[in-house]
A and B are shown apart, each in its own frame.
Chain A
Amino acid sequence: MNEKMLCLGTIASARSGDKGNHANVAVIARCDLGYQYLEKVLTIERVADFFNTLEMGKVERFLLPKLGSLNFLLHDALAGGASRSLRIDTQGKLLGTAILELQLPAPENLAKMRTCKY
């Protein structure tokens, strides 16, 4: 891995699920430092680009600073959703695990961010 990059999974956990044909992917920072950083760099554009092969509609981002969390709503990302998607992952259950591999530019306080906890 590039030294100047940071893998999202080293500073956050994630969980995903379905809402009809939309998927939600929530990212939960492991400390305030991480959250503040993610609020800046984990943009709608980055997440939309990361999941661009899902052929989805718009992406919305919602912030929960008190919970160190960012919630992404991926519109029409599930190829029909639980009832009629032909994908193995009809409900977007894998997207949370997938997003943890998203690469971000490494922040200056990376060492501190890696070990800090709530």
Chain B
Amino acid sequence: MTVRIANAAGFWGDWTLAPQQLLSRETVDFLSLEYLAELTLSIMARQREKNANYGYARDFIDVVHQIIPELQNQSSLKIVTNAGGLNPPSCAVALGQLLRECGLGSIPIGVVTGDDLLERTGSLTDSTWPHFDTHSPLGDRAAKTVSANAYLGARPIYEALQQGSRIVITGRVADASLTVGPAMYHYNWDWEDWDRLAAASVAGHLIECGAQVTGGYRTDWRGAPLGRIGYPIVEIAGDGQFTVTKPEGSDGAVSRQSVIEQIVYEIGDPSAYMTPDVIVDFTTLEVAAIGNDRVAVRNAHGKPRPEALKVSLAYADGFMASGQLLVYGKDCIVKARIVADLIAERLRQEGVDLGSFHVELLGAGDGVPGMVPPPDGLREVMLRISATATDRDPLEAFARQFAPLITNGPAGLAGYAQGRPVVRKIYSYWPTTISRDALTPQVSVQTADDWAAAEAI
């Protein structure tokens, strides 16, 4: 017997058909849906500024709408998601309304809060919230902070499940904890059973990016069709060993190589992968193909969880814009550089002061800057110019420089139809930490009907 945990969203914007496709082919105990990258919460902060009921991943509501039949037919199916973002209660209200309309108002929804630290950043002093790497103090960035969230662990998810939730909505939790919580609920392992916590965390790390472990983003991507790529499922046994697989009949591939590529994805020191639940040692892992699209992972080891929790903080840091033009002709490289110089010169004429101005010739080797020289005989190149500024106005002026080149620049330019470049806010990322004791995660479980009614209050 194992517990089967699938993940069908690796970030906000991932393939919205994935959850339905997965559940149409497989029965799982838990479906996890992961929506929060490092900076997603700062985008949600802007949405919440505009409307106090926003600030969560609305994709999630659409996804649940698509899988209503599976929720009705697979009575043991539970869902765990961090779609709550900055506003888990509002997400629960929207979900409650949907489920009530679909005749599923009795489904218990658990909401995990307590990760949001934004209100606390107002009272900060310079010496607090040191940068994770540089140890510099947050300083006057505190006043510009738009979101600050601690990475909670698996415990509140476990508690929400214990209290009867069929769907658990969290804000910021460690991605792997979306798998660890369900595994702990299923097996009731000891919270200091470091090796099993490590095993579940590795399983979570492997599926948190969705199809990156089932054939997406891999070096050998030509090895399998990707059109109907299956999203991953882990089958975790009572001793912590687990198998990675994907839905029967789906595209993609699960191989030893695809699994190892994902183990080493976005890690630093593999002997100390930090999560709120456990410190995981990846170097002891044993990975072996045991069947068609089935790969076993064994021998995870863990060390006691860290006292401090990671905090993901974002602060407003000026503006940026980026525009592109296709430059055509035998002289395209030279011409592209002249066009970039023209734009810079005209901005000087207007007295516009940009913080930075960055020119790339895409197709001529600038994907990885400076790595390969432009090839001979190139006939066209995509000129991309990006700029930053402290204020919005200089970038609006920058954005206006592209269109006039149709008539007053060189021959052989195309791509204006894309419209004027959009000026957007920059949110800089400030990783820091907070003591575990300074946080009190909260769990609230109510039926969908009750959540739906909560809005009226």
Contacts and interface: CB of A to CB of B under 8 A. Distances in A.
Contacts of A83: 38-39, 42, 314, 317, 426-429
> A60, A65, A89: which has the most chain B beta carbons within 10 Å?
A89
Contact of B360 (A66, A67, A87): A87
A66 B219 contact: no
Contact of A88 (B37, B267, B284, B360): B360
B266 A69 contact: no
Interface in A65-83: 65-69, 71, 73, 80-83
Contacts of A94: 367-368
Contacts of A38: none
B58 interface: no
Given A28-B261, A82-B39, A84-B320, A20 B431 contact: yes
Contacts of A26: 261, 264-265, 267
A15 B261 contact: yes
A9 B220 CA distance: 11
Looking at chain B, what size class is its interface with the partner chain?
35 or more
B369 A30 contact: no
A15 B283 contact: no
B191 interface: no
B366 interface: yes
A82 B219 CA distance: 22
B133 interface: yes
B288 to A, nearest CB: 8
A94 B362 CA distance: 13
> A15, A82, A87: which has the most chain B beta carbons within 10 Å?
A15
Nearest to B284: A66
Nearest to A76: B133
A12 to B, nearest CB: 8
Interface in B33-52: 37-39, 42
Nearest to A81: B429
B371 A84 contact: no
Interface in B281-326: 282-287, 314, 317, 320, 322
B340 interface: no
A115 interface: no
B218 A69 contact: no
Nearest to B259: A67
A28 B271 CA distance: 17
Contacts of A64: 263-264, 270, 282-283, 285
A95 interface: yes
A13 interface: yes
A66 B371 contact: no
5 contacts: A28-B257, A60-B269, A67-B260, A86-B322, A86-B387
Given A53-B370, A54-B369, 7 more contacts: A13-B257, A15-B218, A62-B271, A80-B428, A83-B426, A83-B428, A84-B317
4 pairs of A and B residues whose beta carbons are closest in the complex: A53-B370, A13-B219, A26-B264, A86-B358
Interface of B: 37-39, 42, 132-133, 217-220, 256-257, 260-271, 282-287, 314, 317, 320, 322, 356, 358, 360, 362, 366-371, 384, 386-388, 426-429, 431
